[in-house]
Structures are given as C-alpha cells and as structure tokens.
Amino acid sequence: MLAPWVPIALQRAWATVAAASTRAPHGCDSVPAMLGTVPGLRVTPVNARAGRVVLYFHGGGYVIGGPRSHGKLAAQIAHAARSEAWLVDYRLAPEQPHPAALEDALAAYRWLSQRDGIGRIALAGDSAGAGLALALAVSIRDLKLPPPVALVLVSPWTDLTLSGESQRTHRGRDPMLRRAWLAACAAHYAADVPLEGPALSPLFADLAHLAPTLIQVGSEEILLSDSERLAERAKQAGVCVRLSRFEGMWHDFQVHAGVLAEADRALAEIGTFIDRCVE
C-alpha cells in the first residue's frame, strides 16, 4: 500500500486499519485534545508520574498517519516512560506542505511548555515524526525556548534527499518502506523547498547543544543510514547520544510491542532512557 501509485486517501485508510495490530497497554486513557490551536491526542497511562510529559510525533512520510494510526504506539511509549503523552495531529502534505508540520509542532510545544505543572518534556517520534521531532529540537534551541530534557527517535527519517548508503544496500530488505514511496513523500512535503534544507532534512542541521538523544533502528531498514549518520554527527556536535541497532528488525518494529520480544526490549529501553533524563 505504501507506493506512490496508490492514492493517498487509500494509504491513509490503510494506515488506520494496519494499526489494529498494535496493542495498547492496559489502563491507558486516550482522549482527543487540543494543544492550544493544534489538534492531538492526550494519553494518560495508569503509571504516569506528575510533571513529566512526552510530546509525540507520528510517522507516515508527512502524508499519512495521525491519532488513529499511531495512538497505541504513543500509549506504549507513554506507559514505558511512566509519562503522560500528547500526540500532535500535525497538518499533512500534500494539502499542507512544509512548513505546516513544523509550525504545528512548534505551536504545540510552546503551548505545552507554558502549562502549569509541566517542567520536563521529552520529544519523541517515529520515522518522519522522529525527523520532525529533531527539526523541532533545533528550532527550540535557535529560538531560545525552554529546552526539552530528552529526544527519542524511533527509525528516524532525517534525510529527505535519500542519499544514505542503505537506500541502495537495503532496497529489498525492509518489508515496510520503499525508496519510490519515500521520494514521493519528500516531494509532497517539500513542495518548492530544497530537500537538503535543515528544516526538511535535520541530518544536515547544526546539532550542537541538543538534549540527550536515543536513536533506535532496525538492521534491515532502508533508513538505517539516516540513524547511523545522525548518531555520528550528533556525537561530533557534543550531544550525548545513544544508537541502539536491533538486529534482524525492520522499520518501526516497535509497533509490535506485546507481541515481539525485540519490540518489548526497545520500549523498555525508551522508558529507562526517559527516566534517567527527567529525574
């Protein structure tokens, strides 16, 4: 279904149906909510600790996805982190190309950081959402806003130019993503903006002074090079970064938490990482 010749409306419907395979943690309350002017989903697990929040950005190549497709993954991360989570339902391309998603992300972060009792915000996301979270972190730093305490990037898409070596070497190994679909998504999202611009491809941004960062990636991903290069560039910029590579795993395998042992291990690592950053 994730192919450039499949109508985007059908891709969006498929993403919602496919989400049925993701298990939600027990005792997790999810309700639609507004982050100021930006729609989203508020997720509250039974084990949430006061004052800690995960601001979550869903994947989908900037053209599909939202609370119905990624709400349960956000809940899994919230439960692992013992945190309330807010999933941002940012505007999608091609109807709303860049900078709409980043504008929504920044507006949501401004609103959340100004709420009473909110002092420790972790940014998290998967795939394109992880790229958006990284671009947001750079914007927060440049605007001198109160910084997040952590970044959690799951299978991040950080290079819309598709220049990574794994785009060639892993072309047939990732069961989920194909280069042609990624190229179409990049074109929809960028419109007339150069793909190598750091707001679109935060791999090429100045990464100095960002929060401690956890990157998780599967060894079979076509986006493997995005994670490996990001980890190296972040390290060179002085960021405290951890790259966790899961052998034999594919793009966004964390959606199978509760079914796949590697996904459970990945979620546990996310929880431990956020714990260390917020305490």
Please indicate whether residue 127 is annotated as part of the active site.
yes
User: What is the CB neighbour count within 10 angstroms for residue 276?
Assistant: 12
CA geometry: angle at 17 spanning 15 and 18, to 5°? 65
Q: From residue 117, give the alpha-carbon distance in Å to each of 52, 91, 158, 242.
A: 9, 28, 32, 29
Please indicate whether residue 103 is annotated as part of the active site.
no
Q: Residue 155, Cα to own-chain centre: how many angstroms?
A: 8
Kindly name the residue from 30, 221, 225, 256 that is annotated as catalytic.
221
Q: How far apart are CA 80 and CA 32, in angstroms?
A: 21
Q: How far apart are CA 29 and CA 43, in angstroms?
A: 6
Residue partners of 142: CB distance under 8 A and separation at least 6: none
User: What is the CB neighbour count within 10 angstroms for residue 9?
Assistant: 9
Q: How far apart are CA 255 and CA 74, in angstroms?
A: 9
Kindly name the residue from 70, 98, 251, 256 that is annotated as catalytic.
251
Please indicate whether residue 251 is annotated as part of the active site.
yes
Q: How far apart are CA 121 and CA 150, in angstroms?
A: 7
Kindly name the residue from 30, 83, 127, 225 that is annotated as catalytic.
127
Catalytic residues: 127, 221, 251
